[in-house]
Structure 1
Amino acid sequence: MDENKLPENSGKKPVKPRTKDEKQKVLDRLKRIEGQVRGIQKMVEEDRYCVDILVQISAIDSALKQAGFSLMERHTKHCVSDAIKSGNGDESIEELMKVMKQFAK
């Protein structure tokens, strides 16, 4: 396995489970993104102008990055912070760095 590639599912659980509000915010954002993707599918079906479709794809890319950064921030504040405080931060920091590299691609 590529050393910079993260496993699809680590099987780990968050140190502090997400609150209902946190879950709902992420889910709402992902549902909006899903709607945007469906909108792009319709644009393609309707043979809309390429640039208009590309603008929408860019908006989705940005929305996904925002969702990812939100999750990354929470992970850092809870999971990574907890690992550092308990003296086990190296592995958690390495994992965070790998996901940040994947995110930056």
Structure 2
Amino acid sequence: MELDLAGAELKAVLNRLRRVQGQISGVIRMLEEGRDCAEVVMQLSAASRALDRAGFSIIATGLQQCLADVESGQKSEEDRAQMMAQLEKLFLSLA
């Protein structure tokens, strides 16, 4: 299953992932500096939520594309059912 993350969707997901990358670098630096445990865990929690949001955004885009492909005749109902099952598994892996 390939997703076509074009335009605004792709840019938003990539920006979110870059922010997470920065947060993780910050967490590593905090650990190296011996910072307070609560501060470190708070930053890890924020990074985790941001990763989840990126994943959900990708899944939502996949659902939209799947439905659009069926409506336009590019995909059959059988293809749609298979893609929906894959997206559901991915969704549940994030939940």
In structure 2, the partner of 1:33 is 20
TM-score normalised by the chain length of structure 1: 0.75
Greater RCO, CA 8 A, separation 6+: 1
| CA-based RMSD | 1.6
| Unmatched runs of 5 consecutive residues or more in structure 2 | none
Percent identity for Structure 1 against Structure 2? 31
Q: Answer yes or no: is 1:70 the counterpart of 2:25.
A: no
Q: Answer yes or no: is 1:23 the counterpart of 2:10.
A: yes
In structure 2, the partner of 1:3 is none
Q: Answer yes or no: is 1:13 the counterpart of 2:14.
A: no
Q: Answer yes or no: is 1:42 the counterpart of 2:29.
A: yes
TM-score normalised by the chain length of structure 2: 0.82
Give 4+ residue runs of structure 1 displaced > 6 Å after superposition. none
Separation (CA, whole Å) in 1 of partners of 2:16 and 2:81: 31
Q: More helix per residue: 1 or 2?
A: 2
- 1:90 aligned residue (71, 81, 95): 81
Contact preservation (8 Å) 2:30, 2:40: yes
Matching residue's letter, 2:14: L
In structure 2, the partner of 1:54 is 41
| Unmatched runs of 5 consecutive residues or more in structure 1 | 1-11
